[in-house]
Structure 1
Amino acid sequence: MAETGYKPMKDSGFIPILPKTLEEIGLTRNGLAVEAKVRPASITDLYNGETRTVHFETLQTIIDTLNRLGFEKGLSRRFTIEDIFTYDARTKKSSE
């Protein structure tokens, strides 16, 4: 993989929440990738906190897909970006 100069999201203070969200909705990483038409590697990187960059369009597609699938499963709540990841500066690894 080419080096971008960016740290993985988990080293930048972003905490992956996607594992809990997928468990709640009863969906696998691959299932989300197929439903959202997003590369499986992109979903896996978000899931594991290894993403170095992410496009807003990709996030929008994932959130829209989670909401559609949640509705189809009878879930009443709406999914947001905080169901994919959150930010906590205290978890950020310092640059050396």
Structure 2
Amino acid sequence: MAIKFILKETLDSIGVTPNRFSTLSQVRSNTIYDMIYNETKRIDVKNLDSIVSTLNRLAKEKGIKKKFSLSDVAIWEDK
């Protein structure tokens, strides 16, 4: 059992690059890329909050009627 990050798919769905997202969310680009490549060992709750908040802000700006949550960043996968 493991956590799988699906942030890349979520970013693709709203049309934003990891670098741009890093800037907008004020989360280090290394942290974002670690999540994208499932290399994250731990994550700060503050970063998760910033990521989800930024996803929702971008969705609103782009007219996307979806409310993003933690399940759009990571999922629990049975191995």
Give the alignment's TM-score, normalised by structure 2. Answer: 0.95
AA aligned opposite 1:30: N
Runs of 4+ off more than 2 Å: none
Q: Figure out how many residues of one structure are paired with residues of the other and give that number.
A: 79
Question: What residue is the counterpart of 1:83 in the other structure?
Answer: 72
* Cα deviation 1:28-85 (Å, max 9, x = unaligned): 1101100001100000001111000101110000000000001000001111111111
CA shift for structure 1 position 13: 0.6
Report the Cα offset of residue 19 of structure 1: 1.2
* Structure exhibiting the larger radius of gyration computed from Cα positions: 1
Structure 1, unmatched stretches of 5+, are 1-11, 92-96
Work out whether 1:54 is the aligned partner of 2:50.
no
Q: Which runs of 5+ in 2 are unaligned?
A: none
Other-structure match for 2:28: 39
